[in-house]
Amino acid sequence: MINRTFFFDHARSQLFSGKLKPSQVNGLTTILDCWERDFRQLDDRWLAYALGTAHHETAFTMQPIHEYGGNKYFFRMYDKDGDRPSVAKRLGNTQSGDGVSFHGRGYVQLTGRRNYHAMSTVVGDDLVADPDKALRADYAAKIMFVGMRDGIFTSRRFADYFSKAADGSVLKDNWLGARAIINGIDQKDAIAQYARRYYASIGYTN
């Protein structure tokens, strides 16, 4: 199990200027709990990179958030009748109003009717009927890990950037390139730095 005392002491010092709010502790705890429950057999660098991504995407709050913008912006960006119908089609936004209804939510901004439908199966709840359920921290954590593991967000996935051989030796270790799992190269240097600091925070108890 992850040594939570060591993790929080190190993260507090290296990532939060020496102070953590209760809400940040709660968010980090939810993410760690999800990892240990469902993904603990996987590469720790995947956990660290997911934490670094959430750190950036939530503006350090470590709480699931709505995508920045408003309904007019969401309509223009994601609706079939907006400015980017090809993007709307790719996202599965086939009905008027889908752009607003299925704007980004969560730790990594789940977007589009198609993705909300896919993740409904993952979390065992109907996110299409109630998209705001994607803001539940436990759901958002599982969506983040599954989406990044399986390449749901951009077709890029953890294993494209972090992998090991059967003997445990490192094959891939690309902290900068991994940003493509979520958003191309945007803020790749900052997120790699956050992720490496989280990686240094991960230790284990017997």
Residues 7-50: tens digit of each pLDDT = 999 999 999 999 999 999 999 999 999 999 999 999 999 999 99
Residues 76 and 129 in one domain: yes
Residues 59 and 76 in one domain: no
Q: Which of 83, 121, 122, 82 is nearest to 98 (CA)?
A: 82
Residue 44 located in a structural domain: yes
Domain match, 102 and 196 both? no
Answer yes or no: do 24 and 77 share one domain. no
Model confidence at 140, pLDDT cuts 50, 70, 90, reads very high
Rounded Cα–Cα distance for residues 152 and 91 (Å): 11
The pLDDT mean for the chain works out to 96
- DSSP-derived secondary structure letter, 80: T
Q: Given pLDDT bands bounded at 50, 70 and 90, which one contains residue 205? A: confident
Report the alpha-carbon angle 83-89-92, nearest 5: 125
Report yes or no: 112 and 93 within 8 Å, Cβ to Cβ: yes
Q: Is the pLDDT of residue 206 over 70?
A: no
> What does the pLDDT average to over 149-173?
95
Whether residue 77 is found in the same domain as residue 92: yes
Domain C-terminal end among 107, 133, 159 = 133
Assess if residue 206 is contained within a domain. Answer: no
**Contacts of 190 by beta carbon, 8 Å cutoff, 6+ apart:** 56
**Stretch 125-152: mean pLDDT:** 97
Give ∠ CA 163-148-190 in degrees, rounded to 5: 85
- Domain extent, residue 48, equals 4-64+140-201
Of 85, 102, 133, at which residue does a domain stop? 133
Mark which of 133, 148, 176 sits at the end of a domain: 133
DSSP bridge pairs for 29:
none
Q: How far apart are CA 173 and CA 129, in angstroms?
A: 39
Question: Both 165 and 190 in a single domain?
Answer: yes
- Strand, coil or helix: 169: coil
Number of domains, the chain = 2
Query: In the chain, count of helices (H) and strands (E)?
Result: 9, 4
- In terms of domains, do 57 and 10 share one? yes
